Amino acid sequence: MRRTAMLVSMVLAVAMMAMAGIRDDIKKNPLKGGSHYFAYPDSALPALTPAPEGYKPFFINHYGRHGSRWLIDGNQYVVPVTELEKGERNGKLTQRGRQLLAHLRTVKLASTKRLGELSDKGAEQHQRIARRMYENFPEVFAGDAPIDARSTVVIRCILSMQNETDMLKSLNPNLRITTDASNHDMYYMNCHDTVVARLRREVAPLYEDFRSRHLNPKHMLGVLFTDKKFAADSIDGLALMTNLYEVAANLQSHHAFDGMYMLDVFSDDELFELWSCTNVDWYLKVANTPLTDHRVVYCQRNLLTDFIEAADRALALGRNSATLRFGHDSVVLPTACLMGINGADFSTDDLEEVADNWCSTDIIPMAGNIQLVYYRKAGSDDVLVKVLMNEREATLPIATDIAPYYHWSEVRAYFMDVLADMPR
C-alpha cells in the first residue's frame, strides 16, 4: 500500500512528536478533551505558504463535516439528570452537584426537538470557513466560477452547506452555485459498507475492554456527592460519567451555554481517559489497523474515487471551480486515514499506543474539513496540490520537492495505489 517505507516512517515520527502532547493539550484546553465535540479551532490559524513562482490556485476539492450541533442521542441529556436526581432526593448532592443538576435540567429542556440539529455556533463556523476559503484562494472563486456543492441528506449537513454557499454568494454574487442533497450521491457522500459494519461489531469487545480498564468515576463522584457509600450503592457512576461527558463536552456548541461550564467536575486524568476512550473507539471504527484487517478505512473508497474524478473534471474544464461536499466526522476521519494526511494512517494492534500516535480530535473537531487546493502555471502541465487539514497545511505519505505542495500527478498515482491495495 505504501510507496516509500522510509518516508512513511519519517512522517510518522513527525506526527508522533506532534501528538505526544495530547495529554498536555487537554490539560491546557479541556474543551479539546471534548473530542469530536471540540468547536472548530480557528482563532489562531497559521499563515499559508505562498505558491511557487507563477502558480495560481484554480480548484478546491473539499469534504467537510457539519458544524457544532446538539447531541443526537436524547438519553445523553436525560441520564445525568436522572442519576443526580437520586442524590437530590436523598440530600446527598454537594453544592456543585446541585448547581450542575440545575444546569443539566436547563440544557435537557432546551434540547427538546433539537436532537442532532446544527447549532448557532455550527452555522457561524461554516460562514467563517467559507470566508477564509474565498479570501485565501480568490482565484478559485473569481468571476462566474461553477461551484458544485453537495451534502448528505442529513439536515445539519445541508444547513452547513447553506451557510457556506450564502457566504460565498455574498462575497461574489456572480458565482454559479448549484446545490444538492440527494440519496443519489450517498454512495460516496456517506457510503454504507456492510463488511465494515461487520468488522466494527467484531472489535466492539476490544473497546469495551479498553474502556473498563481506563474509566473510573471516583473523582467525579466525590465532586458531586457528599456521601461515598451512597454514591457507590445508588449511583450508576459509569453511566453518569460517560453521559455527563457527552453533555459537558458538547456545551461548547451553543452560545446560550457559554456561561455554563461543566468539564471541571472531571479531574485532568478522568477527562484525558474519557477522551482516550473516544479516540480508541474512533480508531477501531475507521482507522488503518490490523485489528480490522486494514479494511475499515476503505469505507471511504468511493469518496476518495470521487476526489480523483472531481479533480480530473476540474482539469478538463480548464477554468476555476470548486467541489464542496458536506457530511460527517465518520467520513472525514477515515478519509484522512485513507489519504494518509499528517500520519493519520498510523497502524498498530496495541490500543494502548493509540493516544500518543493518533489524534482524532485534530481531524474531526466540529466542522472539520479536508481541502485539496490545486495550482497551475501558464505554459506548464505540472499541476500542484496543497493539502489543508482544518485549514492547516498538511502532509501526505509521499515525497515532494516543493513541500507543502505536491505534484498532483504523484498524489493521484498514490491515491490510485491506495485504492488498488484494498484488502479483499
Residues 241-280 as x/- pattern, contact with its own copies by CB under 8 A: ----------------------------------------
Residue 163 near its own copies by CB under 8 A: yes
CB of 165 to its own copies, least distance (A): 5
Name the residue among 252, 222, 254 with its Cα closest to residue 240: 222
- Contacting residue, 89, 184, 255, 313, with its own copies by CB under 8 A: 184
CB of 212 to its own copies, least distance (A): 36
Residue 75 near its own copies by CB under 8 A: no
- Contacting residue, 3, 56, 169, 219, with its own copies by CB under 8 A: 169
198/207 Cα distance (integer angstroms): 15
Measured from the CB atom, the residue of 90 and 182 that comes closer to its own copies is 182
Looking at residues 127 to 156 of the shown chain, list those that interact with its own copies (rule: CB under 8 A). 153, 155
**Cell triple for 31:** 474543551
CB of 245 to its own copies, least distance (A): 25
Contacts of 164 (CB under 8 A, 6+ apart): 64, 126, 127, 129, 130, 133, 149, 324, 326
Residue 181 near its own copies by CB under 8 A: yes
CB of 179 to its own copies, least distance (A): 6
- Contacting residue, 22, 140, 177, 355, with its own copies by CB under 8 A: 177
CB of 414 to its own copies, least distance (A): 32
Looking at residues 377 to 416 of the shown chain, list those that interact with its own copies (rule: CB under 8 A). none
- Contacting residue, 39, 51, 145, 167, with its own copies by CB under 8 A: 167
- Contacting residue, 42, 85, 166, 356, with its own copies by CB under 8 A: 166
CB of 182 to its own copies, least distance (A): 6
Name the residue among 362, 365, 411 with its Cα closest to residue 386: 411
The CA-atom distances, in angstroms, between 261 and each of 31, 65, 237, 254, 257 are 10, 25, 20, 11, 8
The CA-atom distances, in angstroms, between 178 and each of 147, 150, 321, 328, 369 are 6, 8, 12, 20, 20
Residue 304 near its own copies by CB under 8 A: no
Residue 236 near its own copies by CB under 8 A: no
Element (H, E) at 321: strand 321-327
Measured from the CB atom, the residue of 184 and 213 that comes closer to its own copies is 184
- Contacting residue, 182, 212, 380, 409, with its own copies by CB under 8 A: 182
Q: Which stretch binds its own copies (CB under 8 A): 99-107, 166-174, 255-263, 272-280?
A: 166-174
Residue 183 near its own copies by CB under 8 A: yes
Burial class (CB in 10 A: 0-12, 13-18, 19+), 318: exposed
Decide: 336 and 363 in contact? Cβ < 8 Å. yes
- Contacting residue, 170, 212, 380, 409, with its own copies by CB under 8 A: 170
Q: Give, in degrees to the nearest 5, the angle at Cα 286 between 283 and 292.
A: 80
Q: How many residues bind its own copies (CB under 8 A)?
A: 28
Decide: 275 and 364 in contact? Cβ < 8 Å. no
**Cell triple for 392:** 492547516
Cis peptide before 146 (omega within 30 of 0): no
212/217 Cα distance (integer angstroms): 11
162/151 Cα distance (integer angstroms): 9
Residue 107 near its own copies by CB under 8 A: no
Residue 123 near its own copies by CB under 8 A: yes
Residue 192 near its own copies by CB under 8 A: no
Looking at residues 313 to 342 of the shown chain, list those that interact with its own copies (rule: CB under 8 A). none
CB of 191 to its own copies, least distance (A): 14
400/141 Cα distance (integer angstroms): 27
End-to-end CA distance of the chain: 13
Q: Which stretch binds its own copies (CB under 8 A): 26-34, 37-45, 157-165, 296-304?
A: 157-165
Name the residue among 83, 109, 78, 126 with its Cα closest to residue 326: 126
- Contacting residue, 76, 165, 292, 320, with its own copies by CB under 8 A: 165
* Residues at the interface with its own copies (CB under 8 A): 112-114, 117, 120, 123, 153, 155, 158-159, 161-163, 165-167, 169-171, 173, 177-184
